[in-house]
A and B are shown apart, each in its own frame.
Chain A
Amino acid sequence: KAGVTQTPRYLIKTRGQQVTLSCSPISGHRSVSWYQQTPGQGLQFLFEYFSETQRNKGNFPGRFSGRQFSNSRSEMNVSTLELGDSALYLCASSLEGLAGRDTGELFFGEGSRLTVL
């Protein structure tokens, strides 16, 4: 069973640009959530999509947005990039929701490492 796939794995952008990251969840998983990982901050929740609808949202500015398609694939977009947006962006999928139904297990991808210069 294929895992969560994130593309691209690495990318470098400059301040002011925008970026789109892609996530393909595990087949059958309808929930996709996005996290930002930075040193010293742990994993910060960005948002969660379930059946093409944003169900939960973290405390990030409006420059961070996302969407989910009918095949459950998800994209997140960051506009007007700032130096502080440099981070590892992790996508996770689960069968029923963020905390799951049975084990609370999220399945994470390997992440997209964004560097903003």
Chain B
Amino acid sequence: DQQVKQNSPSLSVQEGRISILNCDYTNSMFDYFLWYKKYPAEGPTFLISISSIKDKNEDGRFTVFLNKSAKHLSLHIVPSQPGDSAVYFCAASPVFGNEKLTFGTGTRLTIIP
């Protein structure tokens, strides 16, 4: 049972345009969400997070939006740069504390120069 779903395995975007990566979840107990970025032969690195008390969190070119009623979050990257080409994982946690993170299957983003 995949509680965190990333339905697009891959996405290609032109450099300079906006990249939108989507993530859906089914567990209504999740209230803390994170995005990780992974380059080949490297471990995932933390990108940005959002708690359920917010609907938007912004960090430079990266913005995460949370729609709790739809159980949906999205990561916007603008403008997209070639270095953004990587696999992006969304992850969710039921509490802001010691609970394990549940990851999605990942979306491979390719930025086309």
Contacts and interface: CB of A to CB of B under 8 A. Distances in A.
B97 A35 contact: no
A42 B103 contact: yes
Given A104-B49, A105-B34, A110-B41, 14 more contacts: A43-B89, A44-B103, A45-B101, A58-B100, A90-B43, A98-B93, A98-B98, A99-B96, A99-B97, A99-B98, A104-B34, A105-B46, A106-B36, A107-B46
B37 to A, nearest CB: 11
Interface residues of A, number: 30
A48 B43 contact: no
**What are the nearest 4 A-B pairs in CB distance?**
A108-B43, A97-B98, A42-B105, A43-B103
B85 interface: no
Interface of B: 4, 6, 9, 32, 34, 36, 41-46, 49, 89, 91, 93, 95-106
Nearest to B93: A99
A35 B46 contact: no
A33 B100 contact: yes
A93 B27 CA distance: 25
